[in-house]
Every structure is written in C-alpha cells, then in structure tokens.
C-alpha cells in the first residue's frame, strides 16, 4: 500500500440550506495522479476550497500525510440546519488559513487563472518563494540576509528555466497568451515547494494541441518534482489518459470511483453526464 | 500621451521656478511697478486669515487696514515720501500653513507685518518672523503666548486673562451671577483660553465647561445642558459662524439667561442673527462705535462705495471692532516707520517698543515686558435686538 | 545586474547633488530674499513627500485603502513635541494644566553628551513619535484590517477622528495640553552649526535628509521580498493567500510601517510648523495627501514625491498671486481676490483626475521615464533633453 | 423619573437631528448601492443648495413660493451635472480614482462657495410656519424640528414605493444588484444612474431646506460634518438599504445628542460626581458606532450580504 498523502473523510459543505458537498471521502496516495470529475456544479471546486482552507467544511476531516489539517462539525446555527450524515462523529475543530495550508505543502491553481496580473512573470514566481524565506521585515528591508534573497532569486530563476519561461521573465503576466498563463500559474504553485499540487481545470480553454502538451507536462512535473497530483478536469481525453484513479461527483455526492476504465463504464457516471435525470447548472 | 505630459510638467516646474524668481526680484528694487504713483514704495505685510475658520473675522480686520490705506496712502520716512502698499498672505487659519504665509510676506520685502486675527497662527508663524528679524504687530490675537518670551512680536489688543476677568466681573456685578455655563469650541485656543480665564476669575467650582466639536450645527443640547445646570449666565466666546447658530437656537428654545462673549462677537453677523429675537447678548470689545465719529462716518462711506469691501464686511456697513483695530494697527505701523526713519525691518524693530499712537480704540503703547498693549478697560456693549445695533453699557476694568 | 548597479549609482549621485544644492541654497538665500520662499516650501514638501509615500505604501502597494494618515501624523507630532519641549518653558506651554511629562530628550541627552546627545535626543523623539503611531496602528489593525476597500477607508477615517477627539479631551490636558497648542519644542530652525551670527543654517537640509532617508527605507522595503508580498496582496488576495502569504500579518506589517512613517512625518510637520494643535490634523489633511498620491500615480514612489513638491509649491507659493490681485503680470483685483487660488487649484486637480486618470507617473518610477527620454533622444530630435533639467 | 425628565430634551433633539441625517443619508446609500461610490460631493450639494436659497431670497429678492421649487430644481441640476462631469468619464477607472474625483468635486464646491461668499456666515432666510417657535412637552423648539422626522418618514415611504412599484425603480434595483448583467438585459444603465443622482439631489434639496431652517447659518463647510454623519448613518443602517439609512440616521442622531447631554444626565441622576466632559466625544462616538457595526455586522443593520466567489 502506497503512502497516503491526502485524505478526506466525510467532508460536508453546506451553505445555509444548500448542501454543496455531501459526505465526501477520498484519498490521494503518493506519486499518484488522481482526477475529480463531475458535471458543472457538482461540488468539485468546493472540495478544493475545503482542502485549501478557503472554506471551512461544515462537517468532516481533511488530513495531509496523516496529520489533520481541517476538521469541523456542525456548530451554532448550523446545528439545526445540518442535513448531512455523520453528525457527531467529529468533535475537534481544526482550521487553518489558506496560507498555513500552503505552507504545509498543498499548492493549488485556480479555475479562472489568478495570476498577479500587473506584475512580471519573474515576480509572480518570486512571490511564491516568500513564504519559506528565512527573514523578517527588518532583515529583508535592510538586506541583512542577502544570501537568502539571492537563494530565492536563484531558485525562482531555475524554476523559470525549467518551465521555459526565462525569455518572458520581464513580461507582465497578463500580457501572456492563455496557455502560458496556465503554465505560469503552475510554475508559481511549484515554487511554494509543495508535496501535492491541486490543479483546478488546467486544460480549460485549451485547444487539442495545448491539451496534448499539458498531458505530458503534468506527467513531467510528477516525475521531476516527485509530486502527487490531484486535479479537477472536464477534458475526458486528458483525464482518462493520465489519471491513476478517478472520483466522480454529482450534486455534491460521490457517485463513482475507480480506475479510468472502471469509471468509464459505470452507468451512474454515464447517466450523470448525459443528463438523464436533469441538468445541473450553477 | 502621459509621458509627454509628464515632461511638460517637468518643464513647467523648471520654468516657473525661474519665472518666479525673475518676476519677483524686480519688486525688491522698490520700483513702483505695482503702485499708482511714481513714489518709492514701502510695504506693510498683512498676515491675516482670509479663509478657514477665522476667514470672516480676518477679512473684517483687513478692511480697517485697507480703509486706512485709502485715507493715508503715503508716509514720509526720513524726508522721503513713500507710497504704502499692503501685501497680503492668507494663513488659512491653519497653523501648518502659517509659516509659508509668513515667509511670503518676508520675501515680498515688507518692512513691518500686521496680524493676525487669531492667536494660533500668530504663534505658529512667530519663529519664521523672528528668524528674519521682522517686527510684527498683533492686532487681535489675545492669547498671552503670542508675545511671551520674544522681542519681535507686539500687540495692540488686550489679553485673554484681562478679558476673561473683565467678563467674569461683569457677570458678577451686573447679574449677581453665581453659576456660569461656559461653551467653547473644541480645538479652538481662543474660546478655550478665554473660558479658562473666565473660570479662573469666576470660580471654577461654579462653572460648567463644555466644548463642541467643529462642524456642530445643533446646539440645542448645549442649551439644554445650561438650563439643566441652572446657570445664571451663558458664556460662549466662540467664532461668529457658531455664534449665529447658538443665538438662533437659544432664541427658539427660550433660554432665560444673558449670553456673554468676547471681542469676536462684536460683529454685524451677531447683530443680524439676533435681530428681532428674544435674546440678551453682552460683549466686551476694544472699540465703541461712535467713539470716533469721523472714523465711523468715513469707513461707512468707503464700505458703501466699494462692493468688495461691503461683501467682505458681510453685506452691510456696521463696523466691527476688529476693523477699528486694523485701522489703528496701520497707523501704528506708519508711526513706527516714521520714528525709525528707515524701511528696513531691523530698524523698525529696534524702535517699535517705544512707539505710541492715539488711535480710535484709545491710546496705544507697549509695555516693556512682552510688548503687549497697555490697556486697562474694555467696553461692554449690549445687543439691541429690536434695532439691530450695539448699545454701550459701561467701561469695565479688572477691579 | 550591472544595469541595477548603474541605476543605484545614479540615484546616489543624484541625491548627493540634491543635498549639495540644498545646503548651497540655504547659505546663499537670506530669509528676506524673494527666493527664501523656496526654502520654506521645500521643507514642507519634504514632509508631505514622506507622508504621501507612506500612504502610497499602503494604498498603492498593498492595496489597502486607508484614510487614517492625519490621525497617525497627529500622534507622531504630539509625541515628538511632548518629549522635546524645553523644560524651563513647559509651564508657559501647559498654561492651564499641570504637566505630567517632564522629560525633554534633547535636553537630557544634550546635557550628558553635548550636541551629539542633543541630536540623538531629537532623533529618539522622532522615532518615538513613529513608534507610538505604529503601536496604535497595530491595535487599530485588529478590528479594521479585516474590512474591505471602502469600508476600511471610512473605518480608518473614523479612527483618525476618534484619535483627534481623544487628544483634545480636557481630562488628558496634563499630557496633551488638550486643545491648546504645544510649542517651544525643538524646531527645524534650531538646526544650526555654530552659534550666533556665524551659525550655518541647515534646517532645510535636515528636513530633506530626514525625508530622503525615510523614503529610502520605504523604497528598500518595497523592493524586498515583503514588498513583493504586499504587491501580491494588492493584485489578488486569494491568490496571495494560496502562495502562502498570511494576509492579516502582512497587512498588519504594511499598516504599522506606513503609520510609523506617517508618525515621523507628523513629527517633521511639527518641527516645520512650530506649533502642534490637534485641530490641524483634520480629515482634510488626509484628503490632501490622498490627492497627492493619486496625482503622482498610485504605486509610484517618485510620482508621490514629485506630486508633493508640485502640490505644496503651487498651493503655497506659485498661485498666491491669484489671491492678491496680481498673477503672471495680470492685474485684476476683482477676480483675483482671496479664495480664487483655491478655486483654480481645485479645478486643476479635477482636470488632472479626469484627463490624467492614472496620475503623473502611473505606476512607473522616474528611471523608467529617464530611460524613455533617453530612447527618444537617440531616435528623435534632441530637444526633449532639456526637460530633464 | 429624574432620568426620564433629564433625558427627554436630548431624545427630542436627537430625533430631530436624526431626521435630517436620514434625508441626506438616502442620497449616499442610493449612489453607493448602485455605483459603489462614496459620493463625497453629496454633502456639498447640500450646502450649495442652501447658498442658492440665501442668494435667491436675499440678493435676488425672489418670493419664497418661487424660490423653494427653483432651489430644489437647481440642486437636482447640480447633482445631475456632477455625475455627468466627474463620475461618468471614470466609470471604468479604478475605485480609488472615482473616490478621489468625488473628493475633488467636494473640494471644488467648497472653494467655490468660499470664493463667492468670502467665507462669511450667511443667514438662511426663515421660512414662515416652519421657523415658528412652538412648545412640545414643555420644551420650546422650532416647528421644523417636529415636522422633520414625519416628513422624512413620509418621503421615504414614497421613495420605497417608487422603487418597488415603478419600472425605473425596478431598473434601479437591477443595476444595484448587478451592473453588467443589467446592461446586457437592455437597461440603460447611464440613465438609471442619472435618475439616482436626481432623486438623491432632490432629497438633499429638501433636506437642506429643513436643516438650515433649523440651523440657519450657511458657511462653505456647513455640509461637511452633517454629510459625514449621514454617510456613517447609511453604512450603519446597511449601505444600499433605504430603510436602513433612515434607521441609521435616527440612531446616529439620538446617540450624538445623548452623548452631548451625558454629563448632565449622569450628574443629575447622581451617577457621576463631576462632569467628565464627554461631550468632546460626540463626533468621535459616531465613528465608534461605525467601527463597531463594521466589525460585528459588516453589512450594517439592514444590509444584504454580498458573497465573495473564489
């Protein structure tokens, strides 16, 4: 059994009376590429947000390398409103701001690319290095630890080189073509030195050629950076090609799980995607 | 485009710098480029607020100087007849703007400076004048701190401790008052200081002191406080803007006690506000209208003939005490120039302490300690609300 | 890397030239000269430049819309003044109260160490002013920094008003002298080398030097890793957080540092204005500074400095003629009467904002434009070169 | 009973002041609701309106029954013009630029008023009936003090009905909810915004009349403080919500008035030996309230929650 990197247990996210993610459990093992798929509004990004600390789940637990990073149970007003299961199973409250979770080794990208638009490509990557720099405001301002600053710059440069972005180093991020912006966002996430990377629809808006490149790119970062990859994706070609395992969500609930071929042949998945019941739009 | 404009701005910066020094340096020669005659020029600086909290009062003070300048536009200094030019610098009633306003006057080559209306700006600008060796005559800045501990700042008005005591005595003598309600403006050293001195003389235990913040419109709560305290007099030596509102609200709430105030209230703004209302207002002041009939008639004539002057006086020809003070200050400055026999600020400063002048507000002489005016009485006036005029009540001293 | 070194070297040379010019002018110009105005407005510009840059650090670089500047300046000014008032004149300053603070840092240290001690005392008082402002900012930060954009703006504006009211409270009179002015403390004009008539006046130089040093520190901060983190927060808070930047901590740092320098600016303003009175630190002061920041360009340090110089020079010097009847040789007392200067000035600002909406410099710095002019120069007519003087 | 008797005059004066704030606050809340802009110039529109009245009646000798509608019309025109000149060109500019533009407009109006009036206090003409003194509950006051709260509430009811029932009102609500989508739906966003400014300025015109009848001194900065408080009232009540603005206005007015009288109340009821001069904090307390509400209920008392989407 491979080492377990990320584990979700009974994670439920409820906004008022709406259950966006319902009792979702899953795990991602070391060096795996795991995909999370499902129709629009199925709760995929909500799951990401629960993991990365953007949302505090209503109930459930998230652990990283066996250590609990998020845990919650219905409290206050939610107690009466709670519609999910496993109420009472979790009693601790553990929560971290997104930056703490990034610090622990979860990096992410966003569905609708969130670069630091007005800054240069180089600065974008350099900013991600800030978190692990061993300096305080005072020493940083007065350059008391020039070695540290140089190390950050060198590492950022190295990363740009690896991602073939060096020639664009001084370009403004928002001026890059779409595909390169995606790549920069991933490079930036890598700069936080994560153990697992969460990619939110990395292929969205890409043409087949770019998607092809992305496929090899994702494989490549897994190899080169010894990373575990967990991604949300709509492009079935891509998903089926590179995923080791796939989780399928619909209306916040997990409806299927398994290897690409297992999922592909699951009737529930086919129903959900073909919209036999009804279309879920957000 | 932006870049182009940036360069344009940079050019302007450089150009204006040179234009500024080139243009003004011509004035230094004393060439009569801005006078009406070919006479050499002597400049008197007018350091007064023309905007901000004390803008209205400052303008009325300037009126006196302008009128005096109209009456006596020249002065003989050491055998030469000079044309007198008033140079203005608006200190905006703000302490942080005062030093540069003061520097403007110094740079314009003034021989002596008059002002200001309020004490705060005078204190703030004092050191700028001091560094340049410029003699300054305070007109209505009544705070002791203006002249204390320096040798270049003089003044022709009485001081807050004097005025506060006078008012306290008046309250006790006239109304047999045992309790007083004092209302000052927060952050205003004039009203705050005067209230303090009033309370010192009246007995702090028998006073309720409150302050309203700037921009207050509703004074009804303060009136209610005064009533609830059971005060016999309502002491509120605040600026005229606030005064107008206070009078209105006192009248509509039916406050049964006289209102006392200091020299700032000796203004037509108060008369206009109080006219036809059921209020009793008493003020102490430097000058009694009717005390110098020819001055009264002359300045009224001038104000009526000059639209700008009339506007600055609030639209009518009622003479404010500060205008009379401005008038006297101007003549005092001329007297000093004559005695000095020179237009150099340093020469004027050397003799200023000994200069005396018999003005419309009384005889003016400086004491030797701080250069404050020697004044022993103040005039007390009452507002006649039916005719909208001041009525002289008595002269009141400290004893 | 080489480029950077040249740039740094140019800046240093430029600054040294500036200092030399200031010292030179200060010796040449006598207080009664026409050009003495230049020194006065230069001093005030130095103060405003520093305060504007400190506001830009927050509004322009961190994206926190704060309007508390006047309040922090007030605290700096008061702290500085209280700790430098000459002990023998304390009684005349605290006329109505029994003062509780009886320490004059420059005097105490000056007594022990001579003029060096005096200087250290003054510096300590200035830094103390900054620290008090930063300390209060730290406390205010807890509730306020969680607010977004406009709400943050009005909350900080509100705090500045609250601070002003507290300093004017008569119950605190023994410390703050309530609403009455503080004076008789160490002022800019006390900075002289030598005594008597032979003394060399260095007051303008001191003001400029202080401002340059402080702005220099802010620039170093902006160019450091923390500065980049601030910019990240400005660009996208969610993404910044995902990059491991603790929003609250970094906002707090920016807020405190900005307030520190606002406090130092306040102390300098006190040194310039000779008196300190809470009444002068109204929201209008904050708005003036905000206008400077926007005119100069949000996110441009050199823009703020240049705009501050323009703002102060124009409002306090060049346009004065508009108030007193004569401007650029035109004599029209009917129109050019008092108040006209402010009208023209505000209309001018209005026009700049409408037609020049990213400000003078956008978010670029001076070297960018110098380079741009150089490029133009090599390719086009050489005339534009004069603009650089 | 002592408490009630001493407190009553302050409550009454608070309600009156609150009514004035409420009328100005509506202008702020409507503009903010739609443009997300703190219209700093609103308070100065209020002041200019009062100045127009002064000049119309005293300088031009226009009879009151013509002057009143004329001044209201001028006020509306001014509000409309400000939006056209200073805000519309900046619609796509960053928020801070627009806000600074608003500050600059405010600055310009104040300086213009200073230039024209010379900074002197202008006495507001007294409007018969409204200016008369009357006695309520043994307290003497002007009739306008009593009329204001009722008039405010009446105007607000009409306004709310206008927004709920009419087509343009519906358009306003739509624009406030989602600017871009409304545009796509074919709503003429610009004219809706103009309409907002017209209504806001109209209310400012009426408010100015009531306010300055009560406090008849007009100076160039006369609008600044009431404007600031009215804005705080708008935020307090929940920005964008008209009933909220009114509620906020009354709360701020009453609190302010009570703080001013707090010393007297406390001393008279024996809770305090000597006064603490708490009146110093009457303005500051307004901001304390503001900060408290922003921290504990950032959307204000009656405001709607706006979610942040990641």
ipTM of predicted complex:
0.87
- Residue pLDDT, tens place only, D150-166: 888 888 888 888 888 88
Please tell me the distance from the alpha carbon of residue C164 to that of residue C159, in angstroms, as a whole number. 8
From chain C residues 230-249, the ones with a CB under 8 A of any chain D CB are 238
Q: State residue C384's pLDDT score.
A: 42
- Residue pLDDT, tens place only, A158-211: 999 988 888 998 999 999 988 889 889 999 999 999 999 999 998 888 888 888
B94: nearest Cα among B47, B127, B133: B47
Nearest by CB to D226, from B56, B217, B245: name it.
B217
Count of positions (residues) in chain A: 282
Domain range summary for chain A, segments of one domain joined by +: 1-105+194-277, 113-193
Instruction: Please determine, for residue C381, whether its predicted confidence score (pLDDT) is greater than 80.
Output: no
Q: State residue B22's pLDDT score.
A: 37
Residue of chain C nearest B52, judged by CA positions: C339
> Chains with 3 or more CB pairs closer than 8 angstroms to B?
C, D
Contacts of D300 (CB under 8 A, 6+ apart): D235, D236, D237, D238, D239, D241, D244, D248, D293
For residue B85, list its beta bridge partners. Answer: B43
B137: nearest Cα among B284, B349, B358: B349
C164: nearest Cα among C14, C280, C253: C280
Question: Do D and B have ≥3 inter-chain CB pairs under 8 A?
Answer: yes
Contacts of C314 in chain D (CB under 8 A): none
Contacts of A142 in chain C (CB under 8 A): 220
CA distance B359 to chain C (A): 27
Using left for φ > 0, alpha for ψ between -120 and 50, and beta otherwise, residue D298 falls in alpha
Sheet holding B136-138, edge to edge: B74-77, B80-90, B41-48, B112-114, B136-138, B153-155
From chain A residues 45-74, the ones with a CB under 8 A of any chain C CB are 52, 54
Q: State residue C328's pLDDT score.
A: 65
Please tell me the distance from the alpha carbon of residue A59 to that of residue A81, in angstroms, as a whole number. 12
Please tell me the distance from the alpha carbon of residue A80 to that of residue A88, in angstroms, as a whole number. 13
A201: nearest Cα among A35, A49, A26, A8: A35
Test mutation, B213, B246, B279, chain D, max D CBs within 10 A: B213
Contacts of C345 in chain D (CB under 8 A): 111
SS3 category, B394: strand
Contacts of B214 in chain C (CB under 8 A): 279, 282
Are A118 and C236 in contact (CB < 8 Å)? no
Chain C interface includes D1 (CB < 8 A)? no
Please tell me the distance from the alpha carbon of residue C236 to that of residue C325, in angstroms, as a whole number. 51
CATH of D2-296, one of 3.40.720, 1.20.1740, 1.10.530, 1.10.3470: 1.10.3470
Kind and range of the H or E run holding D126: none
Evaluated on CA atoms C147, C149, C154, C158, the torsion sign reads positive
CA distance B33 to chain D (A): 27
Residue of chain B nearest C307, judged by CA positions: B9
Q: State residue A275's pLDDT score.
A: 64
* Mean pLDDT, residues C79-92 taken together: 89
Are A130 and C226 in contact (CB < 8 Å)? yes
Are A127 and C232 in contact (CB < 8 Å)? yes
Please tell me the distance from the alpha carbon of residue A57 to that of residue A51, in angstroms, as a whole number. 9
Most confident of B66-75, C2-11, D141-150: B66-75
Using left for φ > 0, alpha for ψ between -120 and 50, and beta otherwise, residue D119 falls in left
Q: State residue A279's pLDDT score.
A: 45
Using left for φ > 0, alpha for ψ between -120 and 50, and beta otherwise, residue B281 falls in beta
Are C243 and A108 in contact (CB < 8 Å)? no
Q: What is the DSSP letter of D57?
A: I
Contacts of D224 in chain B (CB under 8 A): 215
Question: Do A and B have ≥3 inter-chain CB pairs under 8 A?
Answer: no
Chain C interface includes A107 (CB < 8 A)? yes
Contacts of D310 in chain A (CB under 8 A): 45, 49, 54, 110
In chain C, beta strands by DSSP E: 192-193, 200-201, 326-327, 330-331
Please tell me the distance from the alpha carbon of residue B334 to that of residue B343, in angstroms, as a whole number. 10
The percentage of residues in chain D with a pLDDT greater than 90, rounded to a whole number, is 16
Q: State residue B326's pLDDT score.
A: 92
CA distance B383 to chain C (A): 30
Please tell me the distance from the alpha carbon of residue D97 to that of residue C123, in angstroms, as a whole number. 37
Are A127 and C257 in contact (CB < 8 Å)? no
Q: State residue B39's pLDDT score.
A: 85
Q: Which two tokens stand for residue C71?
A: 């309040």
Which residue in this structure is represented by tokens 């807050």? Answer: B160
Q: State residue D285's pLDDT score.
A: 87
Please tell me the distance from the alpha carbon of residue C257 to that of residue C133, in angstroms, as a whole number. 9
Domain range summary for chain D, segments of one domain joined by +: 2-296
For residue B116, whether the previous peptide bond is cis, meaning omega lies within 30 degrees of 0, is yes
D216: nearest Cα among D84, D100, D124: D124
Q: State residue C383's pLDDT score.
A: 47
**pLDDT tens, residue order, chain B (399 aa):** 555 555 555 555 554 444 444 334 333 333 334 556 678 999 999 999 887 778 888 888 999 999 999 999 999 998 899 999 998 888 888 888 888 899 889 988 899 999 888 888 898 899 889 888 899 999 988 888 888 888 899 999 888 888 899 999 999 988 888 999 999 888 777 888 889 889 999 988 889 888 888 778 888 888 888 888 889 999 999 888 788 888 888 888 778 889 999 888 888 888 888 888 888 999 988 877 777 888 888 999 999 988 888 888 877 788 888 888 999 999 999 999 999 999 999 999 999 988 989 888 888 889 888 888 888 778 888 988 888 888 888 888 776
CA distance C183 to chain D (A): 23
Chain C interface includes D151 (CB < 8 A)? no
Model confidence at C333, pLDDT cuts 50, 70, 90, reads: low
**pLDDT tens, residue order, chain A (282 aa):** 568 899 999 999 988 888 889 989 999 999 899 999 988 888 899 999 999 999 999 999 999 998 999 999 888 888 888 887 778 888 889 889 999 999 999 999 998 899 999 999 999 999 999 998 888 889 888 888 888 889 999 999 999 998 888 899 899 999 998 888 988 999 999 999 999 999 999 888 888 888 888 888 889 888 888 899 999 988 888 888 899 999 999 888 899 899 998 988 888 888 887 765 444 444
Model confidence at D138, pLDDT cuts 50, 70, 90, reads: low
Most confident of A109-123, C365-379, D119-133: A109-123
Residue of chain D nearest B93, judged by CA positions: D119
Do residues C34 and B27 make contact, with C-beta atoms less than 8 angstroms apart? yes
Q: State residue A191's pLDDT score.
A: 93
For residue B153, list its beta bridge partners. Answer: B136
Tell me the count of B-C CB pairs closer than 8 A. 181
Which domains does chain B carry?
24-158+295-364 (3.40.50.2300), 160-285+378-396 (3.40.50.2300)
Q: What is A1-105+194-277's CATH number? A: 3.40.50.300
């Amino acid at each position: 059994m491979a080492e377990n990197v990320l584990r979700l247990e009974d994670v439920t996210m409820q906004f008022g009376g709406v259950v966006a993610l319902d009792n979702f459990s899953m795990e991602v093992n070391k060096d795996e590429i795991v995909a999370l798929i499902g129709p629009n509004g199925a709760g995929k990004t909500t799951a990401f947000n629960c993991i990365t600390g953007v949302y505090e789940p209503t109930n459930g637990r998230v652990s990283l390398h066996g250590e609990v990073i998020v845990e919650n149970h219905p409290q206050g007003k939610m107690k009466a409103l709670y519609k999910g299961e496993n109420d009472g199973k979790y009693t601790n409250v553990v929560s971290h701001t997104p930056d703490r979770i990034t610090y622990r080794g979860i990096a992410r990208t966003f569905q609708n690319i969130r670069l630091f638009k007005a800054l240069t490509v180089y600065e974008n990557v350099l900013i991600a290095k800030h978190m692990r720099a061993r300096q305080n405001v005072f020493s940083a301002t007065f350059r008391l630890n020039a070695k540290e600053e140089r190390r950050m710059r060198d590492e950022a440069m190295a990363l740009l080189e690896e991602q073939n972005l060096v020639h664009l180093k001084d370009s403004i991020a928002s001026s890059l073509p779409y595909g390169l912006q995606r790549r920069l966002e991933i490079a930036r996430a890598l700069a936080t030195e994560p153990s697992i990377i969460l990619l939110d629809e990395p292929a969205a808006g890409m043409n087949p050629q770019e998607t092809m490149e992305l496929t090899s790119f994702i494989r490549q970062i897994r190899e080169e950076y010894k990373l575990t990859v967990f991604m949300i994706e709509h492009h079935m070609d891509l998903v089926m090609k590179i995923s080791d395992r796939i989780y399928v969500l619909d209306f916040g609930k997990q409806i299927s799980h398994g290897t690409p071929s297992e999922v592909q042949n699951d009737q529930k998945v086919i129903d959900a995607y073909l919209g036999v019941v009804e279309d879920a739009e957000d | 485009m932006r870049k182009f404009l940036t360069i344009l701005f940079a050019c302007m910066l450089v150009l204006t710098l040179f234009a500024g020094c080139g243009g003004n340096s011509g004035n230094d020669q004393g060439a009569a480029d801005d006078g009406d005659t070919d006479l050499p020029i002597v400049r008197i600086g007018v350091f007064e607020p023309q905007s901000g909290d004390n803008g209205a009062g400052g303008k009325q003070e300037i009126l006196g100087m302008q009128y005096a300048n109209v009456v006596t536009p020249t002065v003989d200094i050491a055998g030469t007849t000079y044309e007198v030019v008033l140079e203005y610098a608006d200190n905006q009633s703000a302490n942080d703007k005062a030093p540069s306003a003061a520097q403007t006057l110094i740079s314009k080559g003034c021989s002596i400076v008059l002002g200001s209306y309020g004490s705060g700006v005078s204190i703030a600008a004092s050191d700028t004048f001091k560094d340049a060796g410029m003699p300054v005559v305070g007109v209505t800045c009544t705070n002791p701190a203006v002249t204390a501990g320096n040798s270049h700042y003089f003044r022709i008005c009485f001081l807050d401790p004097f005025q506060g005591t006078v008012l306290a005595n008046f309250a006790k003598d006239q109304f047999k008052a045992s309790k007083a309600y004092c209302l000052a403006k927060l952050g205003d050293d004039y009203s705050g200081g005067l209230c303090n001195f009033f309370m010192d003389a009246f007995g702090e235990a028998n006073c309720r002191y409150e302050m309203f913040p700037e921009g207050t419109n509703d004074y009804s709560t303060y009136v209610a406080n005064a009533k609830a305290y059971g005060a016999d007099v309502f002491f509120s030596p605040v600026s005229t803007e606030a005064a107008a509102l206070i009078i209105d609200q006192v009248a509509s709430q039916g406050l049964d006690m006289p209102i006392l105030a200091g020299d700032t209230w000796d203004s037509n703004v108060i008369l206009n506000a109080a006219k036809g209302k059921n209020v009793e207002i008493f003020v102490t002041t430097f000058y009694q209208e009717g005390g110098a009939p020819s001055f009264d008639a002359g300045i009224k004539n001038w104000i009526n003939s000059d639209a700008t002057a009339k506007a600055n006086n609030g639209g009518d020809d009622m003479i404010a005490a500060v205008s009379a003070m401005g008038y006297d200050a101007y003549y005092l400055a001329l007297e000093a120039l004559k005695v000095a026999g020179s237009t150099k600020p340093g020469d004027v400063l050397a003799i200023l302490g000994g200069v005396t002048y018999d003005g419309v507000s009384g005889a003016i002489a400086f004491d030797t300690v701080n250069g404050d005016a020697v004044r022993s009485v103040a005039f007390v006036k009452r507002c006649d609300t039916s005719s909208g005029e001041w009525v002289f009540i008595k002269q009141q001293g400290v004893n | 890397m080489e480029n950077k070194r040249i740039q740094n070297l140019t800046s240093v040379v430029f600054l040294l030239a500036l200092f030399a010019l200031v010292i030179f002018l200060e010796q040449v110009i006598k207080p009664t000269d026409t050009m003495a105005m230049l020194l006065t407005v230069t001093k005030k510009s130095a103060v405003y430049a520093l305060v504007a840059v400190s506001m830009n650090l927050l509004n322009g670089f961190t994206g926190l819309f704060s309007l508390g500047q006047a309040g922090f300046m007030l605290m700096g000014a008061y702290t500085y003044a209280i700790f430098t008032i000459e002990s023998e004149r304390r009684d005349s300053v605290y006329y109505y109260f029994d003062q509780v603070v009886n320490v004059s840092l420059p005097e105490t240290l000056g007594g022990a160490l001579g003029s060096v001690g005096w200087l250290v005392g003054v510096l300590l008082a200035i830094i103390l002013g900054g620290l008090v402002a930063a300390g209060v900012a730290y406390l205010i930060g807890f509730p306020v920094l969680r607010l977004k954009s406009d709400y943050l703006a009005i909350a900080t504006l509100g705090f500045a008003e609250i601070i002003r009211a507290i300093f004017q409270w008569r119950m605190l009179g023994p410390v703050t002298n309530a609403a009455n002015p503080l004076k008789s403390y160490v002022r800019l004009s006390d900075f002289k080398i030598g005594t008597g008539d032979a003394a060399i006046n260095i007051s303008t130089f001191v003001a400029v030097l202080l401002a340059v040093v402080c702005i220099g520190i802010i620039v170093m901060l902006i160019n450091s890793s923390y500065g980049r983190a601030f910019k990240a927060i400005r660009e996208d808070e969610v993404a910044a957080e995902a990059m491991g930047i603790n929003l609250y901590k970094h906002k707090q740092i920016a807020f405190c540092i900005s307030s520190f320098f606002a406090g130092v600016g306040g102390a300098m303003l006190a040194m310039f204005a000779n008196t300190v009175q809470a009444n002068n630190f109204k929201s209008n002061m904050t708005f003036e500074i905000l206008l400077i920041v926007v005119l100069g360009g949000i996110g441009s340090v050199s823009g703020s400095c240049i705009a501050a110089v323009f703002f102060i020079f124009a409002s306090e010097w060049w346009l004065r003629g508009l108030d007193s009847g004569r401007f650029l040789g035109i004599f029209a007392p009917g129109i050019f009467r008092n108040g006209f200067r402010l009208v023209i000035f505000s209309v001018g600002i209005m026009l700049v904002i409408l037609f020049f909406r990213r400000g003078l410099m956008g978010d670029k710095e001076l070297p960018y434009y110098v380079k741009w002019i150089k490029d133009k120069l090599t390719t086009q007519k050489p005339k534009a070169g004069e603009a650089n003087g | 009973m002592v408490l009630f008797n001493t407190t009553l005059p302050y409550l009454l004066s608070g309600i009156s002041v609150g009514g004035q704030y409420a009328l100005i606050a509506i202008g702020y809340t409507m503009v903010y609701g739609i443009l997300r802009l703190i219209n700093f110039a609103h308070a100065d529109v209020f002041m200019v309106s009062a100045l127009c009245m002064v000049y119309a009646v005293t300088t031009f000798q226009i009879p009151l029954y013509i002057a009143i509608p004329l001044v209201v019309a001028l006020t509306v025109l001014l509000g409309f013009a400000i939006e056209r000149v200073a805000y519309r060109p900046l619609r796509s500019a960053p928020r801070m630029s627009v806000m600074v533009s608003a500050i600059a407009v405010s600055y310009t109006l104040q300086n213009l008023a200073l230039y024209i009036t010379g900074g002197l206090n202008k006495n507001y003409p007294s409007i018969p009936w409204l200016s008369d003194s009357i006695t309520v509950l043994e307290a003497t006051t002007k009739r306008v003090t009593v009329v204001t709260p009722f008039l405010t509430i009446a105007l607000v009811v009409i306004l709310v009905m206008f927004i709920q029932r009419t087509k343009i009102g519906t358009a306003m609500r739509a624009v406030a909810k989602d600017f871009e989508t409304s545009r796509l739906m074919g709503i003429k966003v610009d004219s809706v915004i103009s309409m907002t400014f017209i209504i806001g300025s109209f209310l400012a015109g009426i408010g100015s009349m009531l306010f300055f009848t009560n406090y008849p001194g007009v100076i160039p900065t006369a609008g600044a403080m009431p404007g600031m408080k009215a804005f705080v009232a708008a935020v307090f009540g929940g920005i964008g919500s008209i009933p909220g603005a009114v509620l906020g206005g009354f709360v701020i007015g009453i609190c302010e008035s009570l703080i001013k009288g707090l010393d007297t109340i406390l001393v008279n009821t024996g809770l305090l030996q000597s006064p603490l001069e708490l009146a110093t904090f009457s303005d500051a307390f307004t901001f304390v309230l503001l900060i408290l509400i922003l921290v504990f209920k950032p959307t204000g008392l009656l405001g709607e929650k706006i979610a942040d989407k990641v």
